[in-house]
Structure 1
Amino acid sequence: MTTSEPTITGNTKYDVVIVGGGPVGLLLAYQLRRFGVSVCVLEQHREETQDAYGRAIALFPRTLELLDQLGLLDPMLQLGFACRHSVTYKNGEQIIPGRVWTFMENIKDTAFDFTLVLRQMYTESILRDKLQSVGAVYHQGVECIDFGCDDAMNLDEYSVTSTFMNRTTEERFQLKSKYLIGADGGRSFVRRHAGIPFEGDTSEDQWIRIDGIVETDMPITRAYGAIESETHGNVLWAPLDHGATRIGYAYSANIAAKYPDGVTKEVAVQEAIESMKPFSVEFKEVHWWTLYTIGQRIAKRFSTRDRIFLCGDAAHTHSSGAAQGLNTGIHDAVNLAWKLVLRIQGTARPEVLQTYTSERASAVQKLIDYDKDIALLMSYKWPAWYKGDREADPHLVLGEIFDKAASFNTGLGISYSENALNQRQRTDICSVVAGSRPPDVELTVPGTNQSVRLHNITPNQATFWVLVFAGRNDPSIQNLMEELQRYLDTAMELTSCKAIKWLTIITGTGCSPYEALGRRPFGDAYFDTGSIAHDRLGIDMDNGAVAILRPDGLVGTTCGIRGESIHRYLSSILHMGE
């Protein structure tokens, strides 16, 4: 990475300029540079300031899958705490079955059947190292103070001019780019300067979060805990990396009245101890604490003028009740990165990049809708819609909401509606709906018979993966394969386009893919031992099928083994040989 003291004498033109060097901005920049796009990240705070914050801690399964597909996960697994268990206590007694976090114990259909708990400062450190490994430009201590667009210029020109100030020297300099990304947090300058409304509200409720080394007589400590308190709401007990723990609780008006001089570290510690009663708690070390106000806001648009985009907290904020903040931001960054890359490279049609706003805004709105209820119930309050017994236990309703939102919380059930990318075709040949995540089925490597996961052999390389499921090895399917080959011999752009890769999934096992299939496979081949993959994806064994995966691993469309259908879909979103 370059020096943290940039001057106007350095490079001033980039494909993408990213304002904000938190985890979302770093992840976005890493992907862009990894895929061959020039990018510059500028963060107004120094690393030591960034690392002083505890902030986000939980990375859920779908997020882990996305990070794994980008080659980022291994160092995080080395540092983080893999949490597979939860516990709920009320009046010192364990509630069985538990409530709220129990979805962590029922994660299926993924290799990552756990929540990785890793404090944000470690996540950011890993991402900074990865950013350096791909040679991206990263500056600290510089603040964005202005930007503008020349709308008369084409999208492939450097139409965005942004102005930055070195916060130490007060020197100003300008950068030109094709796109400007605001990943600069809830108080985003990019969002405000672009005139994008931030819709929603802020409540009167406040929460405290405190991290440290803790000793307690609570029986189960290295599990995600919910301690149901009538004075401190639904108290969070989260085992952290490096043997630390986070305690989170509602800082109610009654509690605040005890401290007219405001909240200090000592107050945060004392009330954390009170929130855990009847268990005793002693803080051996305090690493970080915060008091913050709960609110839910979403940008009216996630992009403007086709050149300015928002990601992460710059586009949406919500409570930490469901621990979704960083996960949602990572999903933003992954969704946007490959679309930007393909657009900058001239491969994707404009409609592809336009799906970023519609897809991510719809997912975030779902989160905000139920986050409002979670935040109230965790503060031991009833949502306005609740018409039941007000003397009942709010923790019961909170548990029900978490149960219903389990697939959303893990991220495995997040899906997008039909659009330019997600095109629904025949549903009788494959059960996976376009815009949703396919099961991470196990396949077998030819020769070694080693097991490999589908999501591992289709990494995010800013490419679409055409998966040909061969079904039963009989003459009718062999004829379909031959017809597909003849089509490809004339439509060579389907195999020459760098944004398209092919794989063949063959039922059973064999000494070689050629012999098992009776012909040369399309791209690399893997065996589907026991036809499990065909079964899990609902593939018609008599006819086979094609599933085209987007770069982020979601299904773009499904169709029969027909060259025309494959070509129709890919040509509608990509420029191939034009």
Structure 2
Amino acid sequence: MPSLKTIKESRTDVLIIGAGPSGLMCAVWLARCGIPFRIIDKRAGKIYAGQADGLQSRSFEIFQSFSEDQFDFVTLDKAWKASNDMMEMSFWSPNEKGVLGRKSRIPDFIPGISRFHECVIHQGKIENWLQNSIEEFSEGKVKVERPYMPVSIKIDETMKGDQDYAVEVLVKKVSDDLANPEQYGKIANGLFRQFDGDQDKFYADHVNDGNVEDFELIKAKYVLGSDGAHSWVRKQLDIEMQGESTDFIWGVVDIVPITDFPDIRSRCAIHSKDSGSMMIIPRENDICRLYIQLKEVAREEDGSEGAGADGGAKSKGRIDRSKITPESIVRQAKEIIQPFNLDATDVSWFTGYQIGQRVATGFHRNNRVFISGDACHTHSPKAGQGMNVSMQDAYNLGYKFALVCKGLAKQEILQTYELERKKVAHDLIEFDHKFSRLFSGKPMIPSAEKLEGSNEDGGVDLDEFHQVYVQGGKFASGTISDYQDSIMVNKTGAKAREGEESEGVFHPLANKVPVGRRLLSDFVLGQIDYKLLHLVDKMPSDGRFRVLIFPGDLQQFKSNWDILNKFNDALEEKDSFIKRYTPVNAFPSSVIEILTIHASTRNDIEFHDFPQFTRSIDFKGRTDYWRIFSGAGKAYDGTAVDIYKTYGIDKQAGAILIARPDTHVAQVVEFSVGGLKQVDEYFSKFMIDQRNNVLPEKDKSVNDAIRFVQPKLAV
């Protein structure tokens, strides 16, 4: 390896190692918020068919939040249009005679939990859309740098400042030949990335070769390792994975099926009598993905290293991957699906894996280097959680990086990442542990459930399996991730409803809004234009906090106007939280945006009746028209609107909600001057005073229409 003295050096705020869905999601946040960053990956760039394919409700909500109407490029919301909807789940199991039959059909989504439901689409398309968005948001300044591999990482623990470049990462550019994963045969497969030890061998073989110009020393304020289940970053930090592997071996194959099976275009869970289990996932166009339990898979002679045994997970031996072929997987599928016929054509991808559930003991070192996605947690893929939870990890962390790197918030907020996402990871493992074992077990035959004198295990109770699937639907959707009390979440006054602890905690002033969870969206009407829209669509992912003021029915309860006008006096003070945490000369709503949602009929109130703070004016005298809404009434197309009912807010008492940049509800307080002071107290815990941060004065003569698509945070 060349001497560090001869290697070129560079600096960046955040370095992301790994350009899978998790790393790219963090990069989208940083690009949208205008943060200097780099993202590297050791893959040459080709995204093979297959890999993850399920997108849950929360992931679509996140994609929508990065897809504002003003953008003139194709953004992440295209995922919704291009994917295959998952509308129905069918359960198949042996009847009393042991013959496979349909047991039940249910919706494959929970009505009302989100405006989106689960879909499936090729992971490569998701990664492409994420990369396109990064390039657009950064105005072409940032692209994934390939193929680069990290060589060493060092944290300077003497550097305590939020803005110190405390992490050094030595990286090396590798050849495209080395960066292309090895394939077996003509059909693309995922076997190259399923086994522990392969990445370690790659690094060991190639870390020291190359010329000095191939190396670079990158100094960063913060680093994110999103480099997969066998994460190099995690290993450098000596963070262990705790958990175990099972003996269940599964194969996955993408095919175009030729079959008389009646539910081939529905998601299916199939338990055969003696041939194992299978899940059918209908994908885009005419493709189907089959997850198939393999009865016998040869093991390599040296059983000392288990498949996926990283971090002490227990396993009885490493799978001989050469024995897993598309033919062997389809052959097993034919046995499982009998008495129906199944043939396969147009095989496009396959892989094999051993089910295991593991969680990292920590998600960061020194609040400087973090890990996300598969680097933090591994599990079976059948519940459609891998890509989703991985992206949601980074969605939690990305805006926190942005707030700290911009000097808007204290470094302590980064600690909430592990607090919030580690619990989600453990909940995921608990769900997957139960679900995968019930899926993989031999089914109980109805007529043989309790044979007198029988000593045999009755097998998996398929009614229990059905219930676990249904109960897990909310968790799997990603919409009920519940973040604990911290400097960024204040659940004071919120309580669980009797017998409904799992449903979250609710403040009596908004008794249908779980504090700590993402805000469910519903319709409102624009006060200025009567446009029907979703409230959360006016809370896009751009790094800003939102204070949602619900002043009630202002037409019926005139005293509520007095409170709203008092808010104007308080917020115009030089030490108000709006002015204290917004840089001088920045747009008034560029750090904390206030949205007002009243409960009066829109035509009963005029736009200019509202106090100035609800419709701020910028340096050119332009009015922000899109921050006042009617939350009750009827749109011209007849759509009924009552967001007060949706959120459980009284139309006389009102309420104030604080929403974080990720739309998780941080606190609920009363609609009063005292409540507004509680909002101030919330921000004072972690935000940094900006009154000495003076930005250049804006030029009134400049045409700045592009501001709608450029970064909006503290500008």
Same fold (TM over 0.5): yes
Partner Cα separation in structure 2 for residue 25 and residue 260 of structure 1: 28
Q: Does 1:69 align with 2:83?
A: no
Report the Cα offset of residue 328 of structure 1.
Answer: 0.5
Match of 2:118 among 101, 115, 119: 115
Q: Does 1:457 align with 2:535?
A: no
> Could you list the per-position Cα deviations for residues 417-471 of structure 1 after superposition, in whole angstroms to 9, with x for gaps in the alignment?
2111110234221222321122211101235433111211111111110000011
Residue pair 2:162, 2:411 contacting (<8 A) in 1 also: no
After TM superposition, the score normalised by the length of structure 2 is 0.74
The letter of the residue matching 1:391 is G
Report the Cα offset of residue 486 of structure 1.
Answer: 1.6
Match of 2:56 among 55, 60, 66: 60
Report what 2:308 is aligned to: none
Partner Cα separation in structure 2 for residue 324 and residue 201 of structure 1: 18
The letter of the residue matching 2:44 is R
Partner Cα separation in structure 2 for residue 335 and residue 407 of structure 1: 19
Matches within 5 A, 1:296-311: 296-311=357-372
The letter of the residue matching 1:465 is R
> Could you list the per-position Cα deviations for residues 317-345 of structure 1 after superposition, in whole angstroms to 9, with x for gaps in the alignment?
11113111111001101000001100111
Q: Does 1:528 align with 2:631?
A: yes
Report what 1:156 is aligned to: 163
Residue pair 1:234, 1:395 contacting (<8 A) in 2 also: no
Report what 1:172 is aligned to: 215
Report the Cα offset of residue 392 of structure 1.
Answer: 4.8
Report the Cα offset of residue 543 of structure 1.
Answer: 1.8
Report what 2:310 is aligned to: none
Match of 1:290 among 351, 354, 358: 351
Report the Cα offset of residue 400 of structure 1.
Answer: 1.5
Partner Cα separation in structure 1 for residue 275 and residue 487 of structure 2: 47
The letter of the residue matching 1:437 is R
Q: Does 1:376 align with 2:468?
A: no
Instruction: Tell me: CA distance 1:487–1:425, structure 2 relative to 1, closer, same or farther (3 Å).
Output: farther
Partner Cα separation in structure 2 for residue 38 and residue 281 of structure 1: 52
Instruction: Tell me: CA distance 1:420–1:224, structure 2 relative to 1, closer, same or farther (3 Å).
Output: same
Matches within 5 A, 1:330-341: 330-341=391-402
Instruction: Tell me: CA distance 1:163–1:521, structure 2 relative to 1, closer, same or farther (3 Å).
Output: closer
Root-mean-square deviation over aligned CA pairs = 2.5
Partner Cα separation in structure 2 for residue 317 and residue 260 of structure 1: 19
Report what 1:540 is aligned to: 650
Report what 2:108 is aligned to: 104
Secondary structure of residue in 2 paired with 1:16: strand
Report the Cα offset of residue 525 of structure 1.
Answer: 0.4
Secondary structure of residue in 2 paired with 1:573: coil
Match of 1:93 among 76, 95, 101: 101
Secondary structure of residue in 1 paired with 2:254: strand
> Could you list the per-position Cα deviations for residues 73-113 of structure 1 after superposition, in whole angstroms to 9, with x for gaps in the alignment?
322123211222222223443223x3xxx45243314221x
Report what 2:687 is aligned to: 574
The letter of the residue matching 1:449 is Y
Secondary structure of residue in 2 paired with 1:320: coil
Report the Cα offset of residue 146 of structure 1.
Answer: 0.7
Q: Does 1:220 align with 2:263?
A: yes
Report the Cα offset of residue 10 of structure 1.
Answer: 7.8
Match of 1:506 among 595, 598, 605: 598
Report what 1:477 is aligned to: 560
Q: Does 1:428 align with 2:538?
A: no
**After alignment, is 466-475 or 135-144 more displaced?**
135-144
Report what 2:677 is aligned to: 564
Matches within 5 A, 1:120-135: 120-133=123-136, 134=138, 135=141
The letter of the residue matching 1:404 is Q
> Could you list the per-position Cα deviations for residues 289-311 of structure 1 after superposition, in whole angstroms to 9, with x for gaps in the alignment?
11111111111110111100001
Partner Cα separation in structure 2 for residue 172 and residue 515 of structure 1: 60
Report the Cα offset of residue 560 of structure 1.
Answer: 1.4
> Could you list the per-position Cα deviations for residues 204-236 of structure 1 after superposition, in whole angstroms to 9, with x for gaps in the alignment?
211111012222211232221112223444411
Report what 1:404 is aligned to: 471
Residue pair 1:58, 1:115 contacting (<8 A) in 2 also: yes
**After alignment, is 11-20 or 86-95 more displaced?**
86-95
Corresponding pairs, count: 558
Residue pair 1:233, 1:378 contacting (<8 A) in 2 also: no
Report the Cα offset of residue 555 of structure 1.
Answer: 0.4
Report what 2:150 is aligned to: 144
> Could you list the per-position Cα deviations for residues 505-552 of structure 1 after superposition, in whole angstroms to 9, with x for gaps in the alignment?
011332486459664562410111246211111112222110011111
**After alignment, is 414-423 or 353-362 more displaced?**
414-423
The letter of the residue matching 1:379 is S
Partner Cα separation in structure 2 for residue 450 and residue 541 of structure 1: 22
Instruction: Tell me: CA distance 1:127–1:448, structure 2 relative to 1, closer, same or farther (3 Å).
Output: same
Secondary structure of residue in 1 paired with 2:685: helix
Report the Cα offset of residue 22 of structure 1.
Answer: 0.9
Partner Cα separation in structure 1 for residue 78 and residue 610 of structure 2: 42
**After alignment, is 179-188 or 125-134 more displaced?**
125-134
Partner Cα separation in structure 2 for residue 330 and residue 157 of structure 1: 27
Instruction: Tell me: CA distance 1:491–1:466, structure 2 relative to 1, closer, same or farther (3 Å).
Output: farther
Secondary structure of residue in 1 paired with 2:642: helix
**After alignment, is 202-211 or 223-232 more displaced?**
223-232
Report the Cα offset of residue 472 of structure 1.
Answer: 2.0
Partner Cα separation in structure 1 for residue 14 and residue 442 of structure 2: 44
Identity within the alignment, %: 24
Report the Cα offset of residue 577 of structure 1.
Answer: 3.4
Residue pair 1:428, 1:540 contacting (<8 A) in 2 also: no
Residue pair 2:131, 2:143 contacting (<8 A) in 1 also: no
Instruction: Tell me: CA distance 1:206–1:505, structure 2 relative to 1, closer, same or farther (3 Å).
Output: same
Residue pair 2:298, 2:323 contacting (<8 A) in 1 also: no
Matches within 5 A, 1:480-495: 480-491=563-574, 493-495=576-578
Report the Cα offset of residue 372 of structure 1.
Answer: 1.1
Secondary structure of residue in 1 paired with 2:362: coil
Secondary structure of residue in 2 paired with 1:241: coil
Match of 1:549 among 637, 640, 659: 659
The letter of the residue matching 2:295 is S
Partner Cα separation in structure 2 for residue 208 and residue 537 of structure 1: 44
Structure number with larger C-alpha Rg: 2
Instruction: Tell me: CA distance 1:519–1:203, structure 2 relative to 1, closer, same or farther (3 Å).
Output: same
Partner Cα separation in structure 1 for residue 166 and residue 677 of structure 2: 38
Secondary structure of residue in 2 paired with 1:343: helix
Report the Cα offset of residue 27 of structure 1.
Answer: 1.6
> Could you list the per-position Cα deviations for residues 467-489 of structure 1 after superposition, in whole angstroms to 9, with x for gaps in the alignment?
00011222321121122112112
The letter of the residue matching 1:224 is R
Partner Cα separation in structure 2 for residue 516 and residue 87 of structure 1: 55
Partner Cα separation in structure 1 for residue 288 and residue 359 of structure 2: 30
Report the Cα offset of residue 199 of structure 1.
Answer: 1.2
After TM superposition, the score normalised by the length of structure 1 is 0.91
Secondary structure of residue in 1 paired with 2:257: strand
The letter of the residue matching 1:470 is P
Partner Cα separation in structure 2 for residue 396 and residue 567 of structure 1: 51
